């Protein structure tokens, strides 16, 4: 099984936007005006190229949830 690329969606206080970053390279893939625009519909899936794992943080930088694309790649051993 291939490892999924990991990403994080977090608030950038300096720019006041939500940045989607590649965890390995720390490169910003895409920035969003607000969290709702980033998480609605298939926006995250499209931004990561249809495959990857995205950790979504709250405004206070605490972990909120994780989404795996495609859903079939979600590890069965993880809760939730």
pLDDT, one tens digit per residue, over 46-62 is: 999 999 999 999 999 99
Q: Categorize the per-residue pLDDT at 2 as very low, low, confident or very high, splitting at 50, 70 and 90.
A: low
Domain membership flag for residue 39: yes
Between residues 67 and 1, which one has the greater pLDDT?
A: 67
Q: Three-state SS string across the chain, please? A: CCCCCEEEEEEECCCCEEEEEECCCCCEEEEECCHHHHHCCCHHHHHCCCCEEEEEECCCCCEEEEEEECHHHCCCCCCC
Domain membership flag for residue 44: yes
Range of the domain at 51: 6-69
Domain membership flag for residue 78: no
Q: Please give the model's pTM, rounded to 2 decimal places.
A: 0.88
Quote the pLDDT of residue 79: 57
Domain membership flag for residue 55: yes
């Amino acid at each position: 099984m291939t490892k999924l690329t990991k990403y994080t969606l977090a608030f950038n206080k300096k720019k006041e936007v939500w940045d989607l970053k590649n965890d390995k390279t720390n490169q910003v893939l895409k920035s969003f005006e607000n969290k709702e625009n980033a998480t609605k519909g298939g926006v995250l899936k499209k931004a990561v190229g249809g495959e990857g794992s995205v950790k979504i943080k709250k405004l206070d930088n605490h972990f909120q949830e994780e989404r795996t694309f495609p859903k079939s790649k979600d590890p069965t051993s993880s809760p939730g």
